[in-house]
Amino acid sequence: MKGAELVLKVLQQHGVDTIFGYPGGAIMPIYDALYQSDVKHYLCRHEQGGAFSAIGYARASGKVGVCMATSGPGATNLITSLADAMLDSVPVVAITGQVSQAVMGTDAFQEIDVLGLSLAVTKHSFMVRSVDELAATLNEAFAIAQSGRPGPVLVDIPKDVQLADIDYQAECSAAQSAAPIYTSLANAGKARALIAAAKKPMAYIGGGVHMAGAMLQLQQFLAANPMPSVTTLKAMGSVAKDNAHYLGMLGMHGTQAANLAVQQCDLLICLGARFDDRVTGNLQKFAPLAKVIHVDIDPAEINKVRFANVALLGDMKQILPAMTVGTDCPDWLAHCAQLKQQHGWRYDHPGERIYAPLMLKQLSERMPDNSVVCCDVGQHQMWVAQHMRFSSPRNHLSSGGLGTMGFGLPAAIGAKLARPQDTVITVSGDGSFMMNVQELATIKRFRLPVKIVIVDNQRLGMVKQWQQLFFNERYSETDLSDNPDFVALAAAFAIPGHCITRKDEVESALEAMFTWPGPYLLHVCIDDKDNVWPLVPPGAANEEMITELKA
């Protein structure tokens, strides 16, 4: 067979049946092999959209996402998406075509050093120099993408390698692709001692818990060790909805109860999180009274940002049961419950205009329980995190570490293909939506019943809010009042839609969206004066939140 045919054979051996991509000259042999392959390829309308679709597929399913692009601009268009996958630890294998080795280094047409370019945004990158190395390289790419802390891997394949002949008989399986996880329980006794001695323990839960498949162990740990818990953006849905001690997301736009309680705790149990600056605020003032237990799979995270009194490395499924000791802190639980009640959300917004937090709460209450919500980045993203509830982190896909506008729509495409029986909703801002609007064509072509909610304040809302608070209301380049007619735009792609401007229209509009059998766009107009609260200002401690604009 040809090298190009071998690529598809190895992908199938790893259980891959879905690929996202865009063809071009240097990857044309692989696309020719696709013509008669059982692997289903989904043509996205931009390489970035293809890679974001692969990320959405991976995050919604737990499988490896696969995307392809040609050399030169095709490969460079993947870079932002690979960076997104790197910072959010998403297993993706990206395959790029490269110019033939005979002209490599001559500035050939669409030649770029994608290997060098990708090193900063991938877990590992390969250049395949011989067809004899092709299968082994692809197998290693899948192993690296899934092993330990997951991440993106790029495999760059010159055109002559794709066209070369090879006699290949070997077999591999997806079960062989991930290396075993080294786990040490040597410090479990020290962790139990700290938990037993704590008067005000707090579970700080990150995305690493569900990525480890340790959701059951987390619920068992919290049941055996009753304590308040908070989550990062990526971990939303990790704590059961009926857990009375859950305080919500913490950090810059976290709940007041979560931020205040973390600042008061005497033990912070960090589970699969990395003390991100958007979580900690002023690091020197973060949880100042707390000792720290840090559980992670990545040794590089230990003591990187915050000193850990006790560290445990490895498989969360093994470590959480080993930390169980039982806690007894009724006064602390009662205090945190009071904080939660005292600082609960209010939805009695004056006037007739739509209030985004209330609208998103209504959306959350109406959508099926196992719906997947894919966010873009900005004010709407934080409102989703604050006011919607999720039963699993796989149901809330949001660009966390990189904060990439344009993530939501293509991620929803991948999520819908990963989970065709589940409702998939994109919640986007008017700024973010335009970043990858071309993927409406992908939704149209494959008849994907993705529901699209655009929260439109005709502004780059989050930037505008910072300009208002910290730049003396100098609104530089954040006016989007010349937005297109989004309903007409969707109609050009044969996607029906509706625009609403008043609170009393929300329920009927949501009903219409969910009952429509295919894709649907709901354009929600809100007041550009509405901001996201609370907000921890730059350099402030988390308890120093701004909760509203002062007159």
**Residues labelled as active-site residues:** 47, 109-110, 159, 462
* Sheet strands (E) in 254-378: 267-271, 291-296, 310-313, 372-375
Q: Which residues of 128-146 are buried (b: 16+ CB within 10 A; e: fewer)?
A: beebeebbebbbbbbbbbb
Structure tokens at 294: 């840090």
Give the three-class secondary structure for 377.
coil
Cis peptide before 393 (omega within 30 of 0): no
Contact 50, 68 (CB under 8 A): yes
Residue type for position 460: L
SS3 content of the chain, % helix, strand, coil (to 5): 40, 15, 40
Residue 426: phi and psi, rounded to 5, are: -100, 125
Contact 177, 142 (CB under 8 A): yes
Inter-residue contact 117 to 96 (CB < 8 Å): no
Query: In this structure, how many other beta carbons lie within 10 angstroms of the beta carbon of residue 231?
Result: 29
Q: Token digits for 3?
A: 């090298």
Nearest residue to 79 (alpha-carbon basis) of 47, 127, 44, 43: 47
Answer whether 189's CB lies under 8 Å from 323's CB. Answer: no
- Find out whether 455 and 526 touch, Cβ atoms under 8 Å: yes
Which residue's entry shows tokens 């600042």? Answer: 263
Tell me the CA distances in angstroms from 122 to 88, 143, 182, one per residue in order: 11, 14, 22
Query: What are the DSSP calls for 397-413, one per residue?
Result: E---SS--TT-HHHHHH
Q: How far apart are CA 50 and CA 56, in angstroms?
A: 10
How far is residue 475's CA from residue 472's CA, in Å, rounded to a whole number?
A: 9
Which helix (H) or strand (E) element contains residue 18? strand 18-21
Amino acid at 166: I
Residue 290 contacts residue 275 (beta carbons within 8 Å): no
* Sign (positive or negative) of CA dihedral 35, 41, 47, 51: negative
* Measured distance CA(336)–CA(369) in Å, rounded: 27
Place of tokens 């040809």: 2
What is the C-alpha separation between 63 and 16, in angstroms, rounded?
9
Q: Which of 377, 354, 366 is nearest to 513 (CA)?
A: 366
CA dist 64 and 75 (Å) reads 19
Under 8 Å between Cβ of 413 and 442 = yes
